[in-house]
Chains A and B, each alone.
Chain A
């Protein structure tokens, strides 16, 4: 092992951390700005031009805030929980390729931190650890809201993790590799080679599960202000709160980056003739698009009720994800045996399944609505409709 390699890793780690943390800061700015525009407000406009310095001001404010530790709290677990959340969010990004290899100062530098052969399973395994920060944060606060929020969040995370793991399986089957670099390379060329056209249902399922895994609207039950004040981080203040906040937003970037890598060609440009070194720019554009959709959904879609949320995960997403894997397997076998050149068969199967699912879903919701009338007023009705 030579020293140059170690220096390269350290520099890359610093860059990843720097970009993700700045990204986090400006995500909050973007979110405020976009939501305010959607609600016909002005949004942040005081600190700097277009309020661009607001994240900085927020950071300074949080540093100078008093950090409270509630009486009877478990002090060490209370401190460790936010660090766990943030570390898990940061190291998930390690295996995601953001560009091709470039030549710099006579060295070939691949634009990714690590290419591990089991890349995708690494991502799934590490992100499944994110649950501990949330449960332990809620438990150690010695607060009823926090505990309940943490437990709800944990049950939500594990329920949606299943469909999430299955929704990516179709891509793995088509590529025959778990390495994210291989998956990106398999989508080289023009944009119709992207996996989204082979796995439309997988893409939609992953998008929904990703929303739930990051506790974002309409799945932000753990932080439902009206019932749980702030969920698992009710008792957190100052920089400890900032760490949880950071973890949530970095996880949004992770989900967007993985969705781009798996389904939208990763850093690859939409057309084959565009030079490869533009990779990071395309990657950035794709991630920002996903983040914008995240914010858009938050401004548009009302929150689900908790039982609806769990039912949706276990009774809709999980069977659909299983069906997607089966249909992909069957269509791949059919293609290989009868029509080696017909790329469309896999897409066709996926689309057929999607249409069937929509019909089933409609009949299922109408039945469940009859059985269980909404508990109260319009918000529950709205949530039911969007579910």
Chain B
């Protein structure tokens, strides 16, 4: 049952991803990416990680894609031309993509089982999912969390520097 569900979701995710990459119209590409993120969110739910799923929807689909959409509108040009912006870009992208795929596959098959197992049962993760995340985030992983808050501060400054340069 869950394998079948995963199969369906994986096919949808791959199709939407392929459509996103091949779309000539940038707004269509954004729309496909939103669909892709939605599918991935459902996958997280089937993995008993509803909190991650909700974050996926709220942050990626609900915030970052909105920024993408705004940028597309900002440029005022939605149709992509066929010629490459930089010479040899497609070739380089293909090679890098292949390298990434190889790396991921190697990692997947050589990783020790300890990496794949979290030590919690699905029952424990699924119920009270947000609570578990909170407990870990604010005890064991407190330092990364506070570091993230500094990172967010930098992001804020960066946004202003990019958009309002003439005011600085």
User: Touch between A and B in complex, CB under 8 Å?
Assistant: yes
Contact A122 B31 (CB under 8 A): no
Interface residue count on the A side (C-beta < 8 Å):
24
Binds A, one of B91-99, B106-114, B125-133, B141-149: B125-133
Given contacts A135-B69, A154-B70, contact A125 B57 (CB under 8 A): yes
In the assembled complex, the Cα of A129 lies from the Cα of B31 at a distance in Å of 12
- Chain B residues with CB under 8 Å of A135's CB are 66, 69
B12 at the A interface (CB under 8 A) = no
Contact A121 B27 (CB under 8 A): no
Cβ of B25 to closest chain A Cβ, rounded Å: 8
Cβ of A168 to closest chain B Cβ, rounded Å: 13
Given contacts A125-B62, A128-B62, A154-B66, contact A118 B129 (CB under 8 A): yes
In the assembled complex, the Cα of A139 lies from the Cα of B68 at a distance in Å of 14
Which of A80, A125, A158, A178 sits near B130, CB closer than 8 Å? A178
B5-38 CB contacts (< 8 Å) to partner A: 25, 27-28, 31, 34
Contact A131 B31 (CB under 8 A): no
Which chain A residue shows the least CB distance to B61? Answer: A129
Contact B58 A77 (CB under 8 A): no
Chain A 54-81 per-residue mask, 1 if CB under 8 angstroms from chain B, else 0: 0000000000000000000010010010
Contact A77 B66 (CB under 8 A): no
In the assembled complex, the Cα of A239 lies from the Cα of B129 at a distance in Å of 41
Cβ of A130 to closest chain B Cβ, rounded Å: 9
Which chain B residue shows the least CB distance to A151? Answer: B73
Contact B129 A131 (CB under 8 A): no
Cβ of B64 to closest chain A Cβ, rounded Å: 11
Which of B50, B57, B69, B70 sits near A128, CB closer than 8 Å? B57
B161 at the A interface (CB under 8 A) = no
Interface residue count on the B side (C-beta < 8 Å):
23
B40 at the A interface (CB under 8 A) = no
Contact B34 A132 (CB under 8 A): yes
Given contacts A121-B51, A139-B27, A158-B66, contact A129 B57 (CB under 8 A): yes
- Chain A residues with CB under 8 Å of B130's CB are 117-118, 121, 178
B54 at the A interface (CB under 8 A) = yes
Cβ of A132 to closest chain B Cβ, rounded Å: 7
Cβ of A106 to closest chain B Cβ, rounded Å: 27
Contact B50 A116 (CB under 8 A): yes
Given contacts A121-B130, A125-B62, contact A77 B31 (CB under 8 A): yes
Cβ of A138 to closest chain B Cβ, rounded Å: 10
In the assembled complex, the Cα of A121 lies from the Cα of B52 at a distance in Å of 11
- Chain B residues with CB under 8 Å of A42's CB are none
In the assembled complex, the Cα of A77 lies from the Cα of B128 at a distance in Å of 38
- Chain A residues with CB under 8 Å of B34's CB are 129, 132
- Chain B residues with CB under 8 Å of A128's CB are 57-58, 61-63
Which A residues are closer than 8 A to B by beta carbons?
74, 77, 80, 116-118, 121-122, 124-126, 128-129, 131-132, 135-136, 139-140, 147, 151, 154, 158, 178
Which B residues are closer than 8 A to A by beta carbons?
25, 27-28, 31, 34, 50-51, 54-55, 57-58, 61-63, 66, 69-70, 73, 126-130
Query: A117-B126, A122-B50 known; 4 other A-B pairs, CB under 8 Å?
Result: A118-B129, A128-B61, A139-B27, A178-B130
